[in-house]
Structure 1
């Protein structure tokens, strides 16, 4: 509509109705913008309007203070005088959730009405200051004890106060914001009882309304806006339950989460029209559609951006808002108002122009060497398949149906059928016919046009002469869809009946009976409700029909692709919800051999492609978003948030196999692709657009997954690959391999290898890699097959083929976090690799950081590399190296000065030492308490500072300095200060050096003390030999004993006659010593007359007979300990056992002789001589 500017615009929140005021009339329109009714008065203009929340009832306020009611189901609009408004203009109208209405005038008079069809009746009136906006406060249904028809309204007066209008005669103040600002916008959330206020100073106030209607301030947030923002156009709406969208006259939408009290921004997307000299975009209007999770913003430059919400009520992230579309309004005027209707249409007001924008599915057709795509409501572009020639068809009215069969194009406008002819050589579009045709069920075939009229689908010539018809009776329904593929067509009716026909040059013949299209047995019960068929496509052999469904009356969308087998009447389906998608359109493969003798191969006709869109979370309510300038009741809820991987449009390919619809491949569509037009093996036929103009649209041919590298004209290879793709999709890898085993093309083997990733056939994969001549990948696969987890081998193959997402998924399944870290690092995803290591693979945190630092160093990013080396805890080595190699010595010095890294400081000290800066090196060593190197340098400098070095060695807080006493000792040795040298050698633990000096200077006492102190036995033995050579047998014996050589110690004692020392040595021996040593000691004790000692040594030396004889000969007492030591264990050897018994009897006999009766009895018993024991 063009003419008088729209002063008010409003959309019904549950019905497909809208209204806008233009001068002295209010136009009621449907969702497609068609005028349904007009409410008009000659004497006054419309000033306000509001829709009843549930009924098709519109309340209209006039400039003269009167009110009108329009009811879609009633008679003419009723007009009611309102003297309470004092002939002052009605500035605001609002309904409760029931039948109570409130209107307010410029004089501050508010009238509360009760609507009883068809008229309004006054309940009471109240008064407050000048009212600028009014909106009902709706209680939470079922949780509030106040009825929905109880009059409670909130009003503002253009100032800082908000007034409560209830059943009293005087409106009272509910709350008041800061005095220096005015209320610009109000929002009400009944679930949380929150009132949200936007002020003229760009401040957001959040109040909680208590049950007694007293509002309490919960929070206040001052918005930060740019200097170029125009706060006069500030506005606020509910973008999603619990999330308010705020515009403050700049190019940013601020989202405020009520529950979290969090604020974040959503910026307008960049546009091709944006440039350095472009005027800034200022957001002027906001609107939302809760049913479809949509939110829109309009700017002063006529730009409209629509976002789709993928988050929840707790959302606080800009990424939850995905741009659904961005466009320039048909008239580049400022967008004054935006409203969504109940079903998602958008009403836009631009000054004197009010438009209704419909969300429609883009029409597209692909057939007979051409692609046709709708680019605007009245425009389509046709692009030929072979030459790429482009034609623009603009009919001036709306295109309702579109089909193409070169050189003919048919268009239906909703009332007329138009037939065009395209001339490829001249690029011209010629209209052949335009006839009235009420039904948009039309299609084109090279032999004619199919239309529906008078319960018949008729095949007509291109001159519209009828050839043959197929009738439809009442039981079959009215045709709503028609599709043509080759010489077959399918027709779907309003009651979901299907008829299939065969087209010949002058005939249209029905094949088989009419069939009922319904979902398969595997469909959920929730999806069995009333539905309509939105798409139906027949394949090239006329054997299968693919169809999509949508609910008949809203509700949950059907996310399945259904295929009917006409031979078996079985419907199979695939649910795209498992991919996070919902189908948009479906098309069968159009074989290049279509129309050729013999027709296409059967397998080739089983391939179909489906264009999909992200599956949105189920909305919490069907309520549409309301105006920003009035108090609007909205609920709060939560929706499911889909993952980021599922938020893009996709194209999926399937095979209609005997056991069901099998997914072949799916991949995201690039952003420049506007639709999938069709598929002809080996290509998907896509339409891309770089701009809004028809000339910006191009045809894009994109290879299907298994056909990369294939030449278009190689029919034999194409057929083999179709068979391969089919067999691999249904899981028959052996048959797939047979179809391609004779092919030499590496790309074919690469595709087969890709199949092996999902099938797990690593044996086939090795053959593929061999044919691809990829030795590196083959070796990696062989090594990976040695791992315990089979997924590791599959992941290795996937990585070799560049299938990184699949590799990541497989490694996650195998729970190989170590390989996942390696994968991320190898892909250059260093931040991801580090985060993954920190969370799941902590043993590789530092190696990952180190490799990331190496990568950055190689890229010349030294500063970032240094930071990561520090995080990897190896800055002490790598940091100085980088700075030194870069000749940044001054920076290195400053870094060391500021740092407390011991490794770094020590490296710097070593560097200073290498440059002969001894004092500087000592200073740096002292910073890290490195006493050893300090003492070393103090001794090596010229002249040496020995006193300072001795102080450091003596410092108990520097234990590392004790080892450096060696350098002090060496200095004293050079000075021939032998005693001091030996002292510091001793302190440093250099005992051999101290012994060397003691031997050189015949310092025997020092030799003994040092040898005894030293824990090295070899040193003690060497010193013992030193004294033995000099005849100093006492010292030699002592040192031999210290060195563990008891035999040499005994020999020295015997040689020197050191009997006391010999006694001492014998006392220190135990039974574990060498028997020969004990025998030698026994001989010495026998000679010296120490027989008891000699017996003990003989027992230790296991000379038991000699020991017993010595006891008898010299009357040495036989103790029980000695007897037990000579008792041998029992043996299985007869000879050993006889010796044991003989020895026991000897022991018993000696004990008996010595009158040790108990011991003798015990041993006789052990020997088995019970009789003797009893004697």
Structure 2
């Protein structure tokens, strides 16, 4: 109860609205009524506001009267009908009567009740007690009880013409008779709202055919949708404040492309974005207009947290230009069954207002905050909450507790008659739904310029520029019509809307669309034109940096116009125009200007001030400022003017400033001090003047040095001078050469027989040089035996054939650089291409003769002769490049040539070479050669590794390749195939016998014996290997005589055979030892070329025998 201590500092937190018609709505709040309450009865414009625990403030705007009421109870709720006021505290209800002249208030009745929500209608009081609605007289006599079934639930919301229960049932009642009578059937909201959690509030329109309801979700939070029940059509519509769209437009975002939107759709979408992210907290119908509904909305908690987070991450500079959405907004809606629920207007509620009380065309009513009530005055009572200027005077009546705001569409029509108001309401409605024909019909009789101006302002909100054009015409607003017509050049609709808003002085409405379309250049111009320089500079700094300097400049001009010189200077500096603007601005105050220049330390400004002082004859001051500005030319100029040439020379020598040195040199030349003049002309790099003086005064020692560092023009000029000197021919040749006049240089060199100079000049000759001159030089070098120089010049002159003949005749080394010089550029014509190829082949032939095989290969390739290129490469022996060239050439002959070359290498030790040989023969379709290579592989496997398995595989591949080959000599091919087949058969028998040895040894030996009888055995299988196999077998069986017999037979068949090559030496020794036969007995007893047991060679023979045995053991 401490909160009631100060009666004028209490917050208003709840209100009720009493409609004027013969049907009363009953409303029970589902929450406890707060200690403060307020009620507005719109028909009589009577407002009752609680200002203290027991105090009421009663204001009647119709009669402009104010009364204060002190009650005997602490007030928890109040209700008024304009003629009566009811108050209650949960235990007692008191009814007061306001007299007809509105000057006196007296008690009309009192009774005890625990109801916390009550309504008045005529002489009846409606309360909710014990789950029923009770109808009482002012003295408390119960006249009627309205009961509800258990299925319907107990009533929890009560409003004129409607009752809502805890189970979601809504009932309407007719109070025009003696007793309240239900109208129609009840509506169960749980059937049509899936997430229904309970009623927050109900409101009925003046016709009783529409009921707006605010509900809560099952989790207790308020639903962002406001629902409207049409009792006649029994339909339910809604408006979603979270998206800012009605049911007819509440589709998922992004389903429509912005490029496809019409102007009307774009305006609707922008209006939706302005109010999105909110939920309703109260709603009111107009007491006379059945389709006009207004809502007080608040930002959703999650939207506010996102906004705070984005602001916290935004720099302080951009926060000034960031438009923060207001927490509380008022949104007015048109509700129709045909067009759905549409936005009529929206604006933010001022922070000085605590809540909305209601509306009645043409006003909205608001309750002031307690701390704001003492600040109200007569001039601000109506206009304080409006965002735009009023066009009519405010009424004289002022209320400290209540404020009202004129509706956007009715500015200028506050005192108009009913017909004018109806016409404007119809215009607003038709404009909202987009029916322009009906909109203009509704206002065709209105002639007031203020009304047309108001309608033009409406077009800013609705973005209907076509309508705005008509309104501006009827207003006679020529400037606005012209600006709107010119704004068509702007591609963005929002930019054109902002132009209209500016012409109508709707500054806030101009800022928002410019930010939406990101036209910060126009926003910057608007802020400048409106005098909001802080925002203009912040906008330029953050978003419009291209106009940042212009903004600072304009602000500086603005401050200069106001006389704020000190404020203008920094802005001129930021715009980088201070070097001109500040001297202009301070020109009449020389002392202040000098102080600024000294303090600023800008060289250009100091130079300007020095020039000004010089023009005023203040030479010493001018010199000081010239020196501070580092303007050495002006320093030297002034010192020369004052006759102090020594000081000027000192400055030139110290700084080396070219302009200063040139000026001083001219002074010395005028004074006939030639050496000093030449020196400073040289420092100034004015070599032409220095050379001129040297020639005029015959300073030849300096002339040559100056000419060499000067331009070609001056070199040629000096060369002409030396050409006329009998001892200056060498210098003339050099200067003509350096100056680019090669013809003259060569001519003089030939005349004076300067061979060294000719060599230097020849190095710089190009194909643009005169061909005769090139030929002359080449002939000169040939006469002097310098054939390499002659070849170079012939190549430069594109005489390639002659150059090649010279290279061939005199063996001029073919370097890569020379070869490239001799290579002609690619021609377009066919004859040019043929000629070029001949020259390339000539270059290659010369390279071949000089064993420059790689260069020859390159040139043959460029000439398209890949065969010769391959032959050159083969001579080089570069295996890697041969393999690469064969791979990229993709010619059969080249593949075969590469394979033949690789076969000449030691391919047995390099598997990669063997792989390339097979690949190249295959790609070259040389299957007969590939067959021969496989045959060679088979022989290697037999001779070196005794691997008959691999040898058999190689022979088989050779047979396959030869079968596929297409030899010109078919007879020879058939003979080779027959021979291969025989060899394969014999080798296969031997391999089979060796493989079968483990299973049937005797049968394997018999197969070998049969094999030895083959007459052509040695062409496929070495006879020694067959005998060796049999000897090893007999030795293992210890059939020594059979083994020795095989050895003897082997010696007979293979004279001078080396037994150790086919049979293990240990086996041989064992056989001889078992039969007690000396090791050296018999023919072919030599082992590894030595006679076994020969006198004097015992030690050597033993060593060799050991080596052979080791070798076989390794095998």
Q: CA deviation at 1:1100?
A: 2.1
**C-alpha distance in structure 2 between counterparts of 1:691 and 1:946, whole Å:** 81
Distance 1:1058 1:743, change over 3 A: farther
Distance 1:1106 1:662, change over 3 A: same
Structure 1 spans left out of the alignment, 5+ residues: 1-17, 19-30, 34-297, 309-323, 326-343, 346-357, 592-603, 619-637
Q: Check the 8 A contact 1:780/1:796 in 2, yes or no.
A: yes
The structure 2 residue matched to 1:364, chosen from 6, 27, 39, is 39
Match of 1:539 in 2: 205
Match of 1:509 in 2: 181
Q: CA deviation at 1:444?
A: 5.7
**C-alpha distance in structure 2 between counterparts of 1:792 and 1:890, whole Å:** 48
**Which secondary structure state, in structure 1, belongs to the residue aligned with residue 563 of structure 2?**
coil
Match of 1:4 in 2: none
Q: CA deviation at 1:440?
A: 7.8
Aligned residue runs from structure 1 range 45-444, under 5 A:
360-374=35-49, 376=51, 377-385=54-62, 389-392=64-67, 394=69, 396-397=71-72, 408-412=83-87, 414-423=92-101, 428-429=103-104, 433-434=108-109, 436=111, 438=113
**C-alpha distance in structure 2 between counterparts of 1:866 and 1:1084, whole Å:** 78
**C-alpha distance in structure 2 between counterparts of 1:1140 and 1:613, whole Å:** 88
Q: CA deviation at 1:977?
A: 0.8
Alignment RMSD (CA, Å): 5.9
**C-alpha distance in structure 1 between counterparts of 2:416 and 2:127, whole Å:** 39
Q: Check the 8 A contact 1:468/1:506 in 2, yes or no.
A: no
**C-alpha distance in structure 2 between counterparts of 1:1036 and 1:1125, whole Å:** 30
Match of 1:215 in 2: none
Q: CA deviation at 1:996?
A: 3.6
| Matching of residue 605 in structure 1 with residue 290 in structure 2 | yes
Q: Check the 8 A contact 2:242/2:276 in 1, yes or no.
A: yes
Q: Check the 8 A contact 1:379/1:395 in 2, yes or no.
A: yes
* Structure of higher RCO (CA pairs closer than 8 Å, 6+ residues apart): 1
Distance 1:655 1:842, change over 3 A: same
Q: CA deviation at 1:987?
A: 0.7
- Provide Cα deviations, 1:968-1011, integer angstroms capped at 9, x if missing partner: 21221121112211211111122233234334445455444333
Aligned residue runs from structure 1 range 562-573, under 5 A:
563-566=228-231, 567-568=233-234, 570=236, 572=238
| Matching of residue 680 in structure 1 with residue 360 in structure 2 | yes
**C-alpha distance in structure 1 between counterparts of 2:600 and 2:47, whole Å:** 70
Match of 1:1136 in 2: 832
- Provide Cα deviations, 1:691-728, integer angstroms capped at 9, x if missing partner: 68996459866343455566875878866765676688
| Matching of residue 783 in structure 1 with residue 463 in structure 2 | no
Larger radius of gyration between Structure 1 and Structure 2: 2
Distance 1:1051 1:401, change over 3 A: same
Aligned residue runs from structure 1 range 848-927, under 5 A:
848-870=551-573, 875-882=578-585, 884-885=586-587, 887-927=588-628
Match of 2:407 in 1: 704
Match of 2:644 in 1: 945
Larger strand proportion of the pair: 1
The structure 1 residue matched to 2:347, chosen from 641, 654, 667, is 667
Q: Check the 8 A contact 1:383/1:698 in 2, yes or no.
A: no
Distance 1:1053 1:646, change over 3 A: closer
**C-alpha distance in structure 1 between counterparts of 2:596 and 2:127, whole Å:** 85
Q: CA deviation at 1:945?
A: 1.9
| Matching of residue 1074 in structure 1 with residue 758 in structure 2 | no
Distance 1:768 1:985, change over 3 A: farther
**C-alpha distance in structure 2 between counterparts of 1:650 and 1:1149, whole Å:** 96
Structure 2 spans left out of the alignment, 5+ residues: 15-30, 244-274, 304-308, 314-321, 378-396, 445-451, 873-1115
Match of 1:997 in 2: 693
Distance 1:921 1:590, change over 3 A: same
Larger helix proportion of the pair: 2
Alignment size in residue pairs: 760
Distance 1:548 1:1096, change over 3 A: closer
Match of 1:213 in 2: none
Normalising by structure 1, report the TM-score. Answer: 0.53
**C-alpha distance in structure 2 between counterparts of 1:443 and 1:831, whole Å:** 54
**C-alpha distance in structure 1 between counterparts of 2:860 and 2:148, whole Å:** 126
Q: CA deviation at 1:1045?
A: 2.6
**C-alpha distance in structure 2 between counterparts of 1:1087 and 1:494, whole Å:** 122
Match of 1:184 in 2: none
Q: Check the 8 A contact 1:611/1:652 in 2, yes or no.
A: yes
Q: CA deviation at 1:573?
A: 6.3
Aligned residue runs from structure 1 range 977-1126, under 5 A:
977-1014=673-710, 1016-1024=711-719, 1035-1051=731-747, 1053=749, 1057=752, 1059-1060=754-755, 1063-1064=758-759, 1066-1076=761-771, 1078-1079=773-774, 1081-1082=776-777, 1085=780, 1092=787, 1096-1104=792-800, 1119-1120=813-814, 1125-1126=821-822
| Matching of residue 965 in structure 1 with residue 661 in structure 2 | yes
The structure 1 residue matched to 2:172, chosen from 500, 511, 514, is 500
- Structure 1 residues 930-939 or 869-878, which shifts more? 869-878
- Provide Cα deviations, 1:423-447, integer angstroms capped at 9, x if missing partner: 3xxx6447594465756866566x7
**C-alpha distance in structure 2 between counterparts of 1:781 and 1:537, whole Å:** 45
Match of 1:243 in 2: none
Q: CA deviation at 1:1102?
A: 2.0
Distance 1:561 1:366, change over 3 A: farther
Distance 1:1110 1:716, change over 3 A: farther
Q: Check the 8 A contact 2:431/2:439 in 1, yes or no.
A: no
Match of 1:138 in 2: none
Q: CA deviation at 1:495?
A: 8.3
Q: CA deviation at 1:931?
A: 3.4
Distance 1:1097 1:395, change over 3 A: closer
Q: Check the 8 A contact 2:775/2:794 in 1, yes or no.
A: no
**C-alpha distance in structure 2 between counterparts of 1:1164 and 1:474, whole Å:** 112
Q: CA deviation at 1:947?
A: 1.6
**Which secondary structure state, in structure 2, belongs to the residue aligned with residue 545 of structure 1?**
strand
